[in-house]
Structure 1
Amino acid sequence: MGKGYNNALKAYIPLVDFIAGIVGPNCEVVLHDCSNVDESIIAIKNNHISGRKVGGPLTDLGLKLLKEGSYKKKNFLLNYPGKSSDGRKLRSSTYFIKDEKNELIGMLCINIDLTDALAAQKFINVFIKTDGDNNNFRESAGTEPFLGIPENLSCSIDEIVYATIDNTISGLAIPPERLSPDEKTAVVQQLNEKGVFLLKGAVASVAKILKVSENTVYRYLNK
C-alpha cells in the first residue's frame, strides 16, 4: 500500500483483493490515486499480469482522461482493449472515483489477461472445424469426395433410411408417400447410389416410408 494517498480512497482498497479473488489469477486489479500521477498505484493484486507495483505511475489512458475531463460525463469505461508490456492482450475496465465536485480522485481498474482464453478459443475453433461451411463439404485432395451431407449417427435402419430420403427430397415440398411413381423411382435409385440398400431390411424400410410394397421397391431398383 502506498503512502500519502487521498484518504477518500481508503474504502476502495479492500475491493482490490475482493474483485481479484472473485475473477481469479488472470485478473489484475489496480487502485490509482489521481492526485499523484507519478506514483498513482496505491494497491494492486495479481500484478504478474503487468509487472507493475505500488508506487507505479498512471497509465497513458488515465493521463488522457484526466487531461480531457471526459470522466465528468461517465462513471466508468467497460471492456476496452489493453496490452501488457510483453504484448499480451487484455480486456480492461475502469471505474471513476469522484469527489462531491465531480472531480476525479481515483480509478479502480480491472485488466483481464486474455492469453488463456484466446488459446482456448483457437483450440475450440480448430476442434469443431469441418472441411466445409453449412454442410457443403469440399473434396479433400487425395481422398474420396464427401457425401455432401453430414453423417447421421442414427440408432435404427428406419432412422437412417428416413434421414437419407429426407435429404434426397429436401427440395420437394411434399411428403415421401405423395411422390409420383417416377419421383419415387428416382428417390429409390438415389438411395441405391448412396448405398442405403447395403443395409439389411432397407427395402422394407423404404417401402414403409414411401407407402409402397417391397416388390414395388425392387421394381424401382430394376429400372
Structure 2
Amino acid sequence: MDLKMDFLTRLAKALSKQFGDNCEIVIHDLNKTSLDNSIVSIENGHVSNRSIGDGPSMVVLDTLTKKPEEIEDQLAYLTEVDGKMIKSSTIYIRDEKGDITGIFGINYDISPMVAFQKEIKNLIGIESPQSEESTHIYHNVNNLLDDLIQRAVDMVGRPVSYMTREDKIKAIKFLNEHGAFLITKSGNKISNYFGISKYTMYSYLDKEVE
C-alpha cells in the first residue's frame, strides 16, 4: 500500500469513527484492470450494503467518460439506496499529472433526521419542501447497467420493439456517454437488449444523430 492510500484508508476510518455508524466512507481505485471491483476500502458499508471488491457507482462511470480538467469535486448532494436518503460527497484523488486515480466518497444516512424533521413539521403545521432530485447507489454493476439501459430507453421515449435505427443510435450514444461500455462484458448485454449485433452496436458510436 502506497503512502497516499495508507493515509486515505486511515482518514476513512477516522471519519467513520468521528461521525458514527451512519457515515460510510468508501475509496475507489480507478487504476485497477477491472472496474467491476473498484472498491478497495470501505467503512460502515452497511449504509449502502457494499463491501471491498464491489463495483463502481454511477459517479465513477461518469468520471471516466470526462477529461480530468473537466471534473470537479461534488459536495453535499443527495443519493438513494434501499429507500434510505443519503447525503454524499465525492472527492477525486489525482496523481502528480492531475489525472484522476481514485475517488474518496462520503455517504451519510440522513433518513432518521429527515423522518424526525417531517414529524416536527407535521406537528407544527409547516408544509414539507419538495424533495430534491437524487441518484442511486448500486450494489453491483449488473444493477447499474440495467438502470443505464432503462434510462436510455426512457430518453428515447419508446420501447425497443418500436425503436427505429435512429432511436437505437441515440440510445447507444447515451450509454456510451454515461460510461456503460466501461463495465466488463456490457457489450453483449446491450447488443442483445437492442436486438443488434455487437458490430452494428459499435458502428452506431460513429454515426451522427439527426
TM-score, normalised relative to structure 1 = 0.52
Identity %: 31
> How many residues align structurally?
124
- Flag the structure with larger Rg: 1
* Displacement after TM superposition at 1:127 (Å): 2.2
In structure 2, the residue corresponding to 1:100 is in which secondary structure? coil
Specify which of 34, 37, 45 is matched with residue 30 of structure 2: 34
Provide, for residues 130-189 of structure 1, a one-character-per-residue CA deviation record: whole Å limited to 9, x for no partner: 8xxxxxxxxxxxxxxxxxxxxxxxxxxxxxxxxxxxxxxxxxxxxxxxxxxxxxxxxxxx
* Displacement after TM superposition at 1:31 (Å): 0.9
- Counterpart CA distance in 1 for 2:57 and 2:71 is 18
* Displacement after TM superposition at 1:75 (Å): 4.8
Provide, for residues 21-48 of structure 1, a one-character-per-residue CA deviation record: whole Å limited to 9, x for no partner: 1122111110111112221111111111
Gaps of 5+ in 2: 127-210
- Counterpart CA distance in 1 for 2:41 and 2:88 is 17
Contact 1:28–1:45 (CA<8 Å) still a contact in 2? yes
Matched, 1:116 2:112: yes
* Displacement after TM superposition at 1:15 (Å): 0.9
- Counterpart CA distance in 2 for 1:67 and 1:93 is 19
Matched, 1:102 2:105: no
Letter of the 1:49 counterpart: V
Question: Which residue of the partner structure matches residue 82 of structure 1?
Answer: 79
Q: RCO (CA 8 Å, sep 6+): is it higher in 1 or 2?
A: 2
After superposition, residues 12-27 of structure 1 pair within 5 angstroms as 12-27=8-23
* Displacement after TM superposition at 1:73 (Å): 4.2
Specify which of 69, 73, 80 is matched with residue 72 of structure 1: 69
Q: 1:38 to 1:7 in 2, by over 3 A?
A: farther
Gaps of 5+ in 1: 131-223
- Counterpart CA distance in 2 for 1:74 and 1:64 is 10
TM-score, normalised relative to structure 2 = 0.55
Specify which of 46, 50, 56 is matched with residue 58 of structure 1: 56
In structure 1, the residue corresponding to 2:106 is in which secondary structure? strand
* Displacement after TM superposition at 1:87 (Å): 2.4
Runs of 4+ more than 6 Å apart: none
- Counterpart CA distance in 2 for 1:80 and 1:72 is 21
Measured on the aligned residues, the alpha-carbon RMSD in Å equals 1.9
- Counterpart CA distance in 2 for 1:75 and 1:118 is 28
- Counterpart CA distance in 2 for 1:80 and 1:111 is 10
Q: 1:50 to 1:83 in 2, by over 3 A?
A: same
Q: 1:74 to 1:65 in 2, by over 3 A?
A: closer
Question: Which residue of the partner structure matches residue 43 of structure 1?
Answer: 41
In structure 2, the residue corresponding to 1:48 is in which secondary structure? helix
Letter of the 1:47 counterpart: G
* Displacement after TM superposition at 1:72 (Å): 2.5
Contact 2:23–2:106 (CA<8 Å) still a contact in 1? yes
* Displacement after TM superposition at 1:111 (Å): 0.7
